[in-house]
Structure 1
Amino acid sequence: MSSPTILVIGASRGIGLELVRQYRDAGCRVIATVRDEASRERVRDLGAQVHMIDVARPASVSGLAWLLDGEKIDIALYVAGVIRRPNALTPPTQEDFDAVMHTNVLGAMQVIPQVAPMVETAGGVFAFFSSSMSQIASVDDSECWIYRASKAALNMAVAAAQFDYPGATLITIDPGWVQTDMGGEGAPVTIEESASGIRSVLAALTPEDKGQLLHYDGRRAQHW
């Protein structure tokens, strides 16, 4: 039996890089996308096949299906994401808005029609990194409001897309507040813990999880 094929979109550093490491350690075949040459070398050294893709640039993303032509993907992860921190006391700049929405929402929506058929062929899982900050029912301030809006939009995009790919399981997943460049050194969850938890959640999905937001520790979002 062949090893599972894993696709990590956004593997340059942090959780994406750790997912490559853990899946490779588990004997999986890993394909990863990165944005620069230094990242390519890091990921290649882990034994993964690497492609250069910038999900914030539609022209770059458009070639992904061609690069993956003929693949059956057991697990795909859209890890790529950016954050901007202004709150609702100041209007968002177009630069900040475009940076967040292009990477967190548009990039994911462009990737779905290219990759989801390959996941569906394998009867696999396509997981997109969201955030507990996307949950409207539990919002308690306007911190990072562009980021919050982008992840709420991502949840909807993935839930809607699930209907077009019934043979695959599409979900969004909250990796937790993690000790990455985005989360900061004071975050309570290590990169290793987050990646390990995500892998466990993806391995235990049920049909009822399709289109849903899950958390890295196995909790299911009760109220969005």
Structure 2
Amino acid sequence: MKTVLVMGASRGIGLELVRQYVEAGDRVIATARDEAGLACLRDMGAEPKTLDVANPASVSGLSWQLDGEKIDIAYYVAGVFSDEDAKSPPTQQAFDAMMHVNVLGAMQALPQVAPWVEEARGQFVFITSDFAHIGGVQSSRAWMYHVSKAALNMAVVAAQPDYPNAQFLLIHPGWVRTDMGTAQAPLLPEDSVAAIRKTVAQRKTPKTSHTCADVPYLRWDGSAFSGW
């Protein structure tokens, strides 16, 4: 039985990760921002913990909530999306909100969680996007989202050498039929998550020391992006 932590688990991909790992018989610790989300996670058989990645005070308390844990797999799933392009400048408020959840939240959570992943010589998975793939950009659609996910990738890669006994992974979940992905998305959450879980398991390495060169940037099905 593995201990799995899912940050951002109240809906979509995060909620499906909880469902599948619980169903597989693993112990799941999962976070949500409000009581409704916490109650849902509790009903699913997870151990709920309050976390709002947009609130630094909330994130700062995460480490003591996990005190003494050995986390085999941690997921940072929390993220927001907006669809603007480069034809008009983003407002400071919109930019700050996007970067806070997608980048700063992850950067604040990482040092709170990574030591407990190291305790298990486990894996820390960050849900990113193909919008972060600079070589694949075709338009400025979702301009700020492009920037935020590219920044997330850099933050994770740069942090890896500080936690050599944890393996960091960046995974694009595909275009998934969630509130953020919209009903037009071709990939169902259960299919995306099943593939992500398989990819994470296959990428588990016995190496005892990881460097920035070891951080893979992958699609949900395990295929790797060519370059960044």
TM-score, length of structure 1 as denominator length:
0.97
Root mean square deviation of aligned Cα? 1.2
Identity over the aligned pairs, expressed in percent? 58
Partner of 1:139: 137
C-alpha distance in 1 between matches for 2:69 and 2:129: 29
Task: Find out whether 1:215 has 2:219 as its counterpart.
Answer: yes
C-alpha distance in 2 between matches for 1:21 and 1:210: 29
Does the Cα contact within 8 Å between 1:119 and 1:126 map onto a contact in 2? yes
Question: Which residues in structure 2 correspond to 1:4-153 (within 5 Å)?
Answer: 4-153=2-151
C-alpha distance in 1 between matches for 2:91 and 2:58: 24
C-alpha distance in 2 between matches for 1:117 and 1:29: 19
Q: What's the CA shift string for 1:143-196, capped at 9, x where partnerless? A: 111111000001011111111111110111100000001111110100001110
Gapped regions of structure 2 (runs ≥ 5)? none
Equivalent residue letter for 2:179: D
C-alpha distance in 1 between matches for 2:78 and 2:53: 7
Does the Cα contact within 8 Å between 1:73 and 1:124 map onto a contact in 2? yes
C-alpha distance in 1 between matches for 2:20 and 2:53: 23
Partner of 2:185: 187
Query: Which contiguous aligned blocks of 4+ residues in structure 1 show a shift greater than 2 angstroms?
Result: 206-210
SS at match of 1:38: helix
Does the Cα contact within 8 Å between 1:160 and 1:211 map onto a contact in 2? no
Equivalent residue letter for 1:194: S
Gapped regions of structure 1 (runs ≥ 5)? none
Equivalent residue letter for 2:227: H
Deviation at 1:82, TM superposition (A): 0.4
Deviation at 1:10, TM superposition (A): 0.2
C-alpha distance in 1 between matches for 2:154 and 2:111: 15
Equivalent residue letter for 1:123: R
Equivalent residue letter for 1:221: F
SS at match of 1:204: helix
Partner of 1:176: 174
Deviation at 1:210, TM superposition (A): 3.1
Deviation at 1:212, TM superposition (A): 2.0
TM-score, length of structure 2 as denominator length:
0.95
